[in-house]
Amino acid sequence: FNIDRPEDFKGHSLSVSDVVVLHQNGKDTAHYTDSIGFVDISQNFLLENPLKTAEQSTEQNANMIDGIINNTPAADGLEAAGKQISLEQYAETLKQDEAAKSAEPDKTAENAGQDKEPLTELQQKAIEIAKGYETLSMQDRINIIAQSFGCTSGKIQTSPCTGKWRGTSDISIKFDNGTSLFIGNRRTPQAKTQKVQNEYVNSALVRYNPEIIKATKEAAINTLRKRETKDNEIAAQKGLKPYTLLNVEFNDVTDEKSSGHMGWYYVTLAVGDKIHALIETGLNYAILDGKVSETPTREDYFVAGALKESDVDYVFNNAGFSSTSSLYSLPVRDEVRERAEKTLAERSEAQQAAPEAKTIYYTINEGAARRANDMNSFYDYKPGSATAEYRQMVDKAVEIGEHQKKRVDPMYHE
């Protein structure tokens, strides 16, 4: 997009944090420009249909975001349009809705599986957890979201946009500590309605509530610890340091230095004698969506963007990172450091307490070994030499095994 541009691309040269939307084979996909390549963020970024922005400018109500410009409002959208309606009119609209739903059943079924990826186990769990809050008032649900960011309450705020977004307003939750969480954008009249605000609060609640945050961390930690072994093997080959994975953390932005990544997931690592917080776009989305892999997802090793080869001292997901650089890092807050040090002590203690493996030797038939020697060699057999050679080979195998065990969390030892 900078040198060999597609003919229909009219945007500026790309840089980190830009989002590119591609339209291929009738489907849109969104890709975040990271320091290291691109990250597919279609599921969290794209609107429900490619005409949504146009519809927000022309439709009579929020319910009509359906891919058809300015068509008749659906039943539950009549009231949202702000008009008085009769039961007769409502019933007639319901009939139109049902007729529309049954008109192309095969097409709907066919596209459903193609346009949407199946939900991960974590995403399904998040939806189930959020359903438990459905009966609460909107203010109570906002307060639950606030708890995720170390606050007790919050309130909805809208702010009008300018430039190409003129006519729309951002919708945010302002917490009692002064920080704000962006949750959506709509045409200004709609953004001020309780229906639209309720929509966005429900969407935020699926991601930001203490219960799902806890479940998200738990789902990621064991898988990431399995990846630790492979990363450290790659680091050893390159003469770099191994890391010890400590905790998965959620950035609740209790300090201004971390505000640029509000609501992101990151990990704490021990690299040498340093506690280090690693934050990276692909890692955040993998943890958030429950898509963390046990093995590195990057096929070929490379140095993380903007880092120098000389700065790199460890490998994470087959990419070189630096525990001394501020890039891909967050300041380690006191409570985060305390948790990290506790986990490091527990892992070190478990490793030291692991029982020594008892070496088992089997009996070698010295008589058979002597006869084999007499038939195949001109030299006299040295008594016990077969047993000594066998035990030497076993000891070497045990040594290799113990060396590898020290590089793996004791929870995986058998």
The answer to whether residues 210 and 148 touch, using CB atoms and an 8 Å cutoff, is yes
Lowest mean pLDDT among 13-22, 63-72, 94-103, 393-402: 63-72
- Give dist(CA 240, CA 271) in Å, integer: 10
Q: How many CB atoms lie within 10 A of CB 91?
A: 10
Residue with tokens 């990544």: 261
Q: What is the pLDDT of residue 61?
A: 47
pLDDT at 360 over 60: yes
209-223 pLDDT, tens digit per residue, is: 999 999 999 999 999
Q: Are strands 302-303 and 319-321 parallel, antiparallel or unpaired?
A: parallel
Which two structure tokens, joined as six digits, stand for 166? Answer: 């003129």
365-404 pLDDT, tens digit per residue, is: 888 888 888 888 888 888 888 888 888 898 888 888 877 7
- Give dist(CA 33, CA 47) in Å, integer: 19
Q: What is the pLDDT of residue 259?
A: 65
Q: Residue 108 — very low, low, confident or very high, per pLDDT cuts 50/70/90?
A: very low
Backbone φ and ψ for 119, nearest 5 degrees, come out as -70, 145
139-183 pLDDT, tens digit per residue, is: 999 999 999 999 999 999 999 998 888 899 999 999 999 999 999
